[in-house]
Chains A and B, each alone.
Chain A
Amino acid sequence: MTETTATLAELLIVACAEVWRDDPEWLATGITPIPRLGASLAKLSFNPRLMITDAENMLVETPAPLGPRDTSPTVEGWAPYARTFDNLWGGRRHALVAPVQIDRFGQTNISVIGDHVRPKAALLGARGFPGNSASHPNSYFIPQHNRRSFVAGEVDHVCSVGYNPKRWANGRKPLGLELRWIISNLCVMDFGGGDHAIRPISLHPGVTIEEVRDNCGFDLAWSGEVLPVTALPTPEALSIIRALDPHDIRATLIKGNPSAQRIA
């Protein structure tokens, strides 16, 4: 066993970074701090081809650290919203975003909880989720793995297209639909089951498959095999993460800031 003082947030940043490991030269977008740190870590540690933005409208040569900073990274290009759409419709992007709900088809929701006409809770609105999901690869980050986020049936308002042929036009898969990974606070999943069913591929240290399944509103593709443990951050990764997040904002993102290694 590797002894580590890494936190769960740091383990998740490393797991998020992995989604971009083999990507070609295109835009890596991580929305919310942990995915953003993941994209930054991927670019700095193993995939310098990736393009990233300053989270506003410039492409930057090196990732901007989170929070107040004395210097700004060198700008290498312009990314206004019009160009963001042109780029994403062309398919040259892999986004890792954080929906509120996801269902067994990989359809996600950030619009409303409850009925769309008179919602129990109004959230952001669909934003760019429909276009992203029909245009380029997407992965999802869901830091609270439970039955309210991994829902039975369909999500309350389908904002991003998933592997649900009943919703596709004439049953034909949208050209750019490609769902890759889901990273939760319990495990890493992909869409490698039958008919793209969601399948756990590694469990975070100390997590059991029973806990993953009990906290999911639908059946995961799992045939009884023993799953690997999600990799702990290396000292090199931790060092990069500290530089990318000098104010330790990551310590505030998961309730109680637990260790990456659960006490059994």
Chain B
Amino acid sequence: MFDKRMSIDDIVAQLRDGMTIAIGGWATRRKPMALIRAIARSDLKDLTIVSYGGPDVGMLAASGKIAKLIFAFVSLDHIPIEPYFKAARQAGLPVWELDEGMLHWGLRAAAMRLPFLPTRVGIGTAIADHPAFRTIRSPYDDGETLLAMPAIRPDVALLHVHRSDEKGNILTLSPDPFFDELMARAAAHTFVTAEQIVATQDLGLPSNARYHLVERSLITGVAEAPFGAHPTSAAPDYQLDLPHLRTYAAAEGEGWADYHRKYVAVDDAAYLAAVGGTDAIRAIPAPVY
């Protein structure tokens, strides 16, 4: 039997202290939040997190899971500064700060099994002052000195997708796939949560071929997690829950224990009930940018 289905807790059981974990999505969009809450409830510690950051980073920071953050930003978009990230950062959370495109480039280098990829990005800025970087001189006649963006090789990538079959053929139906494909190619193992696990013939291929994120050989395990991106979006299935993000953001500090009790230290059914139920999530209007 060729079946990669597992539970969210099974995925968490595959993770180890000290791992480097890449988290898919972007800020408030298509973050694997059900999985993030499960990690927040676990005993895992000392994680290095790689993310185009949103509440995934904030929640893991608030839960004391992050030893080091590799990032270019952390934001809730409509709430520009992620308050838990801000608090952790100001308390001295170790970080490696990159440009958004450099993060993409580091994942691409790992995906291609290259030690680095050259780039002009970062030259002339404080980003390039980080001791992790070396420069390289073009061997061609231009002689330009470029930054050698080192490969970023996560142990694990965690992604949230719209559909999967039991073999890990996955579809991301949202208008932007972000850099999830590169995270899957760069990581040793990729685990996904999916809105729905369906039979292969129900993936709608080949019409949906452009939404097929990556070859199934890169996917180690898949867990069904309806509304598993909430409070971030998994458009077109549902939109981000801005009122809930405001509740989450406002809880930073003294309110965190209460937030944690209501929304983190609970199972998925209780979580969905606590945030208003699945009909309410489906009814959330698209955000205005």
Interface residues of A (CB under 8 A from B): 54-58, 64, 67-69, 78, 80-82, 85, 88-89, 107, 111-112, 116-131, 133-135, 157-162, 164, 167-170, 172, 174-177
Contact = CB atoms under 8 A, between A and B. Distances in A.
B121 A134 contact: yes
Interface in B123-141: 123-128, 135
A169 B138 CA distance: 12
| Residue from A58, A127, A131, A169 having most chain B Cβ neighbours under 10 A | A131
Contacts of A125: 53, 71-75, 97
Listed from nearest, the 6 A-B pairs whose CB atoms lie closest are A161-B124, A122-B89, A169-B145, A55-B289, A125-B73, A130-B99
B35 interface: no
B289 A54 contact: yes
Interface centre among B26, B120, B125, B127 (most CB of A within 10 A): B125
B189 to A, nearest CB: 23
Given A56-B289, A123-B81, A126-B72, A81 B178 contact: yes
B102 A130 contact: yes
Interface in B102-152: 102, 104, 120-128, 135, 144-147
B90 interface: yes
Contacts of A55: 289
Nearest to B83: A122
Contacts of A128: 72, 99-101
A124 B120 contact: no
Given A55-B289, A81-B176, A174 B127 contact: no
B85 A122 contact: yes
B90 A174 contact: no
15 contacts: A64-B289, A82-B177, A88-B101, A107-B125, A116-B97, A119-B90, A125-B97, A130-B122, A130-B127, A131-B99, A131-B101, A131-B121, A159-B127, A169-B123, A169-B145
B86 interface: yes
A133 B92 contact: no
Contact of B80 (A107, A124, A164, A177): A124
Nearest to B71: A125
Nearest to A85: B101
Contacts of B271: none
A81 B179 contact: yes
A261 to B, nearest CB: 32
Instruction: Output the residue of B175, B176, B177 with the most chain A CB within 10 A.
Output: B176
A187 to B, nearest CB: 26
Contacts of A127: 72-73, 99-100
Contacts of B98: 126
A174 B97 contact: no
B74 A124 contact: yes
Contacts of B74: 124-125
B120 A174 contact: yes
Contacts of B128: 130
Given A55-B289, A120-B90, A172-B144, A82 B104 contact: yes
B100 A131 contact: yes
Given A118-B90, A125-B74, A167 B125 contact: yes
A81 B92 CA distance: 30
A158 B72 contact: no
B269 interface: no
Contacts of B1: none
